[in-house]
Amino acid sequence: MENNIKPSITITKEQLLQHWQGHRSLTRRTIEAFPEDKLFNHSIGGMRPFSEMVMEMIHMAAPGAQGIATGTWEKFGEVAGSDSKKPETKQELLELWDWSTVQINQYWEQIPEGRLQEKDVAFGAWEGQTWWHLLYFIDNEIHHRGQGYVYLRSLGIEPPHFWER
């Protein structure tokens, strides 16, 4: 441990996964709320369509869980074990989202005790403790889901309640 700081447990690994999966469930409902065409082409102020933001989240989630669990990181944007074809429909995007969720759960079981305190280089680019990388994945999802909420509201659609995770 750096600086001889003794870690204390404030949240269990299982609680952290439940928290992350709660956010993922809410993001999934946000994807579902989009009309098919608007998911892939609606934009405000030069931001990307929500489908592209979702793909960024997918590119972080399962590969990130794999990296945290095993110390083996794919190059960012590569998702080992998935069909590399870019989703063209809401259903295809949701299927990839669900596949990613299953992958997270499987890798989560492999995370060794103390691993979240270890330093690693995520996706071969970003050095930090693995707990920081994980929180970044969650924060990034929340950020992009917020952009999705703005898109939905601009389309006259009420987004899912953020507290219903």
User: Would the pTM count as exceeding 0.75?
Assistant: yes
DSSP code for 23: H
Which pLDDT belongs to residue 163? 84
Spell 39-65 as b/e; 16+ CB within 10 A means b: bbebeeeeeebbbebbbebbbbbbbbb
What pLDDT score was predicted for residue 75? 76
- Residue 1's pLDDT is 47
pLDDT score for 76: 73
Helices (H) and strands (E) in the chain, counts: 5, 2
User: What are the distances in angstroms from CA 17 to CA 20, 26, 101, 131, 134?
Assistant: 5, 14, 11, 12, 10
pLDDT value at residue 35: 97
| pLDDT per residue as tens, the chain (165 positions) | 455 666 667 888 999 999 999 999 999 999 999 999 999 999 999 999 999 999 999 999 999 999 999 999 987 766 655 556 789 999 999 999 999 999 999 999 999 988 999 999 999 999 999 999 999 999 999 999 999 999 999 999 999 998 887
Task: Please tell me the predicted confidence (pLDDT) of residue 25.
Answer: 97
- CA 104 and chain centroid, separation: 9
